[in-house]
Amino acid sequence: MDTPIEKKKVMLSGIKPTGDLTLGSYLGAVKNWVERADLYDNYYFMADLHALTTRNNPADLRRRTLEQLAQYVACGLDPQKNVLFIQSHVPAHAELGWILNCYTMFGELSRMTQFKDKSAKNADNINGGLFTYPALMAADILLYQPDYVPVGEDQKQHVELTRDVANRFNNLYGETFRMPEPFIPKVGARVMDLLDPHSKMSKSDEVGNGRVCLMDDPADIMRKFKRAVTDCDCTCCIRYAPEEKPGVANLMSIYAAVTGKSFAEIEAEFEGKGYGAFKPAVGEAVVETLRPIREEAQRIMKDKGYLEALCREGAERASYVAEKTLRKVRKKVGLVAK
């Protein structure tokens, strides 16, 4: 008798194309996605609808959306092993987002810390989408019935809200949505700003001197690492002590992530050498890690036919799964079938 093939668990995540993908995006998220390609059924998308909650130059948004898709592939996300797509190319996201708006409570949305943070930063544009986008995020997740959603600690609240909304819907209409679990990577999950090691490296940082982007040229990368904040002490020793030496700890975390070396091995390698040797070494390791990614992404961006096919095929594969969930939801809430 044949042994039944165990069905893979499903994982889903997305990143807004509102800024350039950074070293933090790669080490904290995309690199981990690549390593999980054979372990799960993976859905990764460019969250361009979420990007509309803030004002963007339309041409820049289109360019960044396609660049992000190209960079995903260049980072090693095989489109045959992973479903890669643009959020707005799958209309089910917007439709389920509206439906779940009607099952998400005002008080729940009011408590979302990201709404408070973004409202403070965009005081002249506190729009309805900024307030209700967690319902769209819940739709993004629940459409694909995932088991896991890889997120940083700062996004865990959104998965918790998604679970609350799914549970509310399931209690009203019977089992409809799978309850997703947040999946928080333990290694490389938070790469900090090179100039402010107490803040996460952000792809929306307009100045950009504390962040390293995947498409930065080697000279810029080296300049940023040479200017990276270390710590004001007399010894200049390379030691992993996040509380005492957050700047050095951040650089060590980056070096460990791109070389595979342990903190003990890094400390031994740079014993007695000081920051003047350590910072360029980290920069060079990052340059060589990002070089093939940048070159491949540039090649893909020039191949318009390949990009168009990638968008079309990804949307078709995603829509096939999303529409199955949406049909079930439409029927349960009382909408007339098409």
Residue 44 β-bridge partners: 13, 84
Give the DSSP letter of residue 76.
T
Q: H-type helices in the chain, by residue range? A: 23-25, 31-35, 48-51, 58-74, 92-101, 106-110, 113-121, 128-142, 156-173, 218-226, 246-259, 263-269, 275-302, 304-333
**Bridge partners for 83 per DSSP:** 43
304 noted as active-site residue: no
Residue 201 CB neighbours (<10 A): 25
Reply yes or no on whether 261 is catalytic. Answer: no
DSSP assignments along 257-269, one per residue: HHH---HHHHHHH
Buried b (16+ CB within 10 A) or exposed e, 251-270: bbbbbbbbbebebeebeeeb
8 Å CB contact between 33 and 44: yes
- Is the distance from CB of 266 to CB of 260 less than 8 angstroms? no
Q: Which of 9, 81, 118, 261 is catalytic?
A: 118
Query: Edge-to-edge strands of the sheet including 9-15?
Result: 82-86, 40-46, 9-15, 148-150, 181-183
Closest CA to 98 of 71, 75, 132: 132
Instruction: Verify whether residue 8 is a known catalytic residue.
Output: no
Tokens of 235: 């010894």
Q: Say how many residues make up the chain.
A: 338
Out of 16, 31, 81, 203, the active site residue is 203
Active-site residue among 16, 31, 200, 279?
A: 200
How far apart, in whole angstroms, are the C-alpha atoms of residue 112 and residue 165? 14
**C-alpha angle 323/144/183, rounded to 5°?**
170
The catalytic residues are 118, 200, 203
